[in-house]
Structure 1
Amino acid sequence: MSFLRVEEDGAVVTVTIDRPEQHNAINFAMWRELGSILDDLAQEARRYDGLRVVILRGEGGRAFSAGSDLKEFATMTIDEVRRCFLTMEQTISKVERLPYPVVAAIGGYALGSAFELACACDLQVASERAQVGMPVARLGIMLSPEFTKRLVALMGPNQAKDLLFTGRLLNAAEARALGLVTHVVPHEEVDPFARRLAETMAALSPSSIRAAKRSVLLSQPAPPPDPAGEPVPYYIDEDDFREGVQAFLERRAPRFRRPAPPRKEEG
């Protein structure tokens, strides 16, 4: 069963995460499918002839997406989780490389990997009820340099560290003040406003907009190599990850173990 819906209306294609009973949580299969959809859009397949703008939204009005499906993570091996994270990062990067503007219509929560997905979009229209954040420190997940680059580019290093170190959620007004969303509108106006914004861009020169998107992307610095030599895009501390996911599912505070002390340099 597909939990993604693609609708073409003139020059605008809307991709909907359609799993409202799970707050639009995104599982491994959905990340792969979304990547395939983005590949089709990038190749300007015949069924998307005349495409100018893409809208990405969540069904139901309560959440853009609550992020990755933690219930699925609880059943995966660590290698499977790593593959899921890698696929997720590849899919999110495709949003950035898509030659058309992508508008995120955030009608509620956008958390974790879904927050990363929204940040990769070119513009974000958020409900006044929306909350966004990256509470991964509660789950023992280490962020990839690519995501950190996105976050720092939008809000600066100090604010990014505050958000990541505390795991706190931001309301729509805070998110806009920090540059994480571009528009805040009444809840019932999220989809209509995103549509009007898309139609405004669709009426302009597609070559000019495509060049502008590419220029902005190229202006962003690449993430530096990891000085610790950890594998990228994700390193997972298995004990912390298992405890964080289990605590979330059991609705309790996680009990993380004390980290091992750093090793002394030999010689």
Structure 2
Amino acid sequence: MTTTTNLLRAERIKLFSTRAPWWCLAIAFLAPLGFTALFFALAGPEIPATVGNTQLASGNGRTVLLVLAILATASEFNWGTMRLTFQAVPSRVPALVAKAVVVSAVGAVLGLVVGFGSWGLAYLVQPDADLGLNSGADWRSVLGQGLVFLITAIAGVGVGLLLRSVAFGLTVALVWTQVLEGVVLFIPGVGKHLYQWMPFHAADEFVGAGGFAAGPLQLPDAPLGPWGYLGYFAAISVALFAAGVFLTARRDA
């Protein structure tokens, strides 16, 4: 128990020992809230004010969290601190799991703050709108951000372990989230169907923002329900982390 506590404490200290994580957390919080306030202030009557729509900008926060998780992991290989960690914990796996636990716990808290903050801010901007949390779907949209952000952090740690390069890892993450998933939609014939299986679209579907994220394009019926999409997103993220741990446990730091 003491060893586990020490590992978690060490990972927490490493995570917050530089300014970069603090900047990432600030951006991951402020960007979704700023967009939400602007969206609800400018939205016309053709765009319904729903609880799901209060979470439309949460993807911006998830992307920044993904960046934070990759930075927290890959930078240790770049700076050589991962080698020191493995000298202290030769079996490696407990140290890697501790890192994932710490980063994902931070992600879960961030997700809850973003979810409830975006909802509360939208309510302040449009106090007459029907934004009460009156159903399970409404609670899933807001409270579910904690789960989605937690899982995103696990994926980021996995990408960092697999690629071991801050520049390469951030490039892959940003191209995937900001370019590739959107471009897939425009592939003739199969684009809309492929888009239904994009991991971060799956996260949007769980919180109820998936349809709006596609814009004016008409998507086919979703192949999975909200919880099925969460499971799909979690399976991909855990697979990335497991692959990262497997490779890191078997090659030089």
TM-score (normalizing by structure 1): 0.26
Larger relative helix fraction: 2
Which structure: greater strand fraction?
Answer: 1
Q: What is the TM-score of this pair, normalised by structure 2?
A: 0.27
Higher relative contact order structure (alpha carbons within 8 Å, sequence separation ≥ 6): 2
